[in-house]
Amino acid sequence: MSVYLKCIADTSKACAYEGSYESARAHWWLENLRTRSNKQSTALSLLGAIRFAHTDLEPPSFDCYRRGTGRDYRGEYQKSRVFTYLMTGGAAIAGSISAKNIVHSLVGYMAPSEDVLALAKVEVGIKDIPEGSSISVMWRGKPLFIRHRTQEEIDEANSVDITSLRHPEADSDRVKDPRYLIMIGVCTHLGCIPVGEAGDYGGWFCPCHGSHYDISGRIRKGPAPTNMEIPPYVFVDNNSAVVVG
């Protein structure tokens, strides 16, 4: 039995179709799909009509309003960059010179005066010191020990195995002339003044806490951590005098 069905394919058109219910449903589905695809094509065509970039248009030129020197902006940029570099370099050099002068002035202000520097050095005559004797003078507020050693004392100082010392130091590293030992007479423990020709090693002995130094001023026993300090000095007048400082 055939059924006469009417199908609306478009809002402005009507068509008659004779067939079964399934055929009518399939026809309606195809028409609906065709309508949707037409709408999508229309939307894509509208999007394609929109211009997102205008590369074919020339940008406006304002050269007629610019000065002659400003039209070639690349060349002017190079010139201005060179000028900037020159100004920056000149400012850096001037700042460095100013900083140098300021630091020099501050250091000169804090440096000791000429009379203080004169007192920082002391000249001592050593030719009259008997062999096997010592003298003590003041230098920068500290006692300075100068000993004229005998040959036996020199040999004894050189015979010590420095690897066994708390503060390893060879006797040749502590003297410029083996006959004369020049050192600051202050114990390296707590700053006491040691006594000469005393102690277990025939050198110096600190009575405060019992530090023993040998004939080269090296710590051998007691709480002192290091050897007695050797100051800077030079011999003058054919080793007849010494300038300390």
**Separation between Cα atoms, residue 17 and residue 103, nearest integer Å:** 108
If one counts every other C-beta atom within 10 angstroms of the C-beta of residue 223, the result is 14
Which tens digit of pLDDT belongs to each residue from 122-136? 888 898 899 999 999
Which tens digit of pLDDT belongs to each residue from 178-217? 999 999 999 999 999 999 998 899 899 999 999 999 999 9
Tell me, letter by letter, the H, E, C secondary structure of 160-190: CCHHHCCCCCCHHHCCCECCEEEEECCCCCC
Which amino acid makes up residue 3?
V
Q: Is the pLDDT of residue 44 over 70?
A: no
List active site positions: 209
Of the candidates 124, 111, 114, 110, the one whose C-alpha atom is nearest the C-alpha of residue 231 is 124
pTM: 0.53
**Separation between Cα atoms, residue 81 and residue 89, nearest integer Å:** 12
Which tens digit of pLDDT belongs to each residue from 82-135? 778 888 888 999 989 989 888 888 877 776 666 666 567 888 889 889 999 999
Which residues, in sequence order, are bridge partners of residue 147? 134, 181
